[in-house]
Structure 1
Amino acid sequence: MASTGLQLLGLVLAVLGWAFGVLVCAAPLWRVSAFVGGELVIAQMLWEGLWMSCLSQTTGHIQCKTYDSTLALPTSAQVARSLSVLSLLLCVLALVLGVAGAKCTHCMGDGNQAPKARLGRVAGLLFIVAGLAYLTPICWTAYTVIRDFYDQNVAAPLKRELGPALYLGWGASVLLLVGGALLHVGSSAPGGRALPVFGGAAKKSSRPGTAGELKQPDKSFV
């Protein structure tokens, strides 16, 4: 039977992962300036995200500007945008299906447990796909940042470090994957219909036979 506790836990974790994913997608903290030189005084720091870049100064003043053209961005940034938005939209669809397929809800009536279980399993799979889709741009961005950091041909002012949004993105992806797995496992189809046939029916059929076998010897002696 479907486990209500696993379903609720999976939905809660998946919703948390979706909320963190929205924050990561909007935050301009995917890549931050790397200071690899011998400078002791840092006047400003550059933050870069999927949609905008921000310049933070030591005085506390922050200036943010959205990218002028989407087509002018690198291909990796465009793919990261597409996968992140697709992942968040899949989470919304999975959340609707997960709530409708949860055992504790009455969206489809109390008697339709099999269709509700199917909806829960589909929602779990969608959360898992969304987690993998969100994990891809996070890992690719981290790879490019680390590769450019250790590349001697890249100038020092152009080097970047891993921003805090990437770490939060890894956490959001893990929450989506774990929540989807728990929701899928907790939405097992209802079963247990064939047990009375092999138990009670077999005993009922065996009793008349044994009674008949016991009566036949009595009739033969009479």
Structure 2
Amino acid sequence: MASTASEIIAFMVSISGWVLVSSTLPTDYWKVSTIDGTVITTATYWANLWKTCVTDSTGVSNCKDFPSMLALDGYIQACRGLMIAAVSLGFFGSIFALFGMKCTKVGGSDKAKAKIACLAGIVFILSGK
């Protein structure tokens, strides 16, 4: 009974980690900088992994998608790749973990479920959570 409860808790923690990583992917404010005037802030520059935007002091925003994948800085390309890999591997790791749990009927015998659970653990480690 204790192992079933710990499996369910670990599965819920892994799902919540996957949701949190997935929710940071479209976040707008990865990098923010401002240009200050003498009295007021005249412009705010902010960027994420997909676009860059400028907001002036009146609140008007102008956004522009990155024009080319090859023209980006190396750290943005690396962040994009690592985030997409983490979301993808986390999804497949969750599926494998669900099939490898003792309380599910899918996955076959206990020996096969243990192998699937080990595969899920390896996938979660590779995803960086």
TM-score normalised by structure 2 residue count: 0.84
> Quick one: structure 1 residues 115 and 55, their matched pair in 2 at CA, closer, same or farther if it must change by over 3 Å?
same
Is structure 2 residue 75 aligned with structure 1 residue 79?
no
CA distance in 2, matches of 1:47, 1:78: 17
1:120 counterpart = 2:125: no
Could you tell me how far apart the structure 1 residues matched to 2:63 and 2:20 are? 21
SS in 2 for 1:26: coil
Displacement after TM superposition at 1:59 (Å): 3.3
How many pairs does the alignment contain?
Answer: 129
Give 2:58's aligned residue.
59
> Where is the strand percentage greater, Structure 1 or Structure 2?
2
- Higher radius of gyration, 1 or 2: 1
Is 1:104 aligned to residue 88 of structure 2? no
Larger helix share, 1 or 2: 1
5+ long unaligned stretches in structure 2: none
> Structure 2: how far apart are the matches of 1:2 and 1:10?
12
Q: Which has the higher contact order (CA 8 A, sep 6+)?
A: 1
Shift of 1:7: 1.8
Distance 2:39 2:126 in 1: 45
Q: Quote the sequence identity (%).
A: 29
Decide whether the 8 Å contact of 2:100 with 2:113 is kept in 1: yes
Q: Superposition RMSD on alpha carbons, in Å?
A: 2.3
3-state secondary structure, aligned to 2:105: coil
Report if aligned partners of 1:2, 1:103 keep a CA contact under 8 Å in 2. Answer: no
Match of 2:6 in 1: 6
Structure 1 residues 22 and 56: CA distance shift in structure 2, 3 A: farther
* Secondary structure in 1 matching 2:11: helix
Residue 79 of structure 1 deviates from its aligned partner by: 1.6
- Distance in 2, matches of 1:33 and 1:23, equals 22
The whole-number CA distance in structure 2 between the counterparts of 1:104 and 1:6 is 11
> TM-score normalised to the size of structure 1?
0.52
AA matched with 1:107 = V
Name the aligned partner's letter for residue 64 of structure 1. C
Distance 1:11 1:41, change over 3 A: same
For 1:16 and 1:78, the matched residues in 2 are separated by: 26
Structure 1 unaligned spans of 5+: 132-175, 177-222
Residue identity opposite 1:129 in structure 2: L
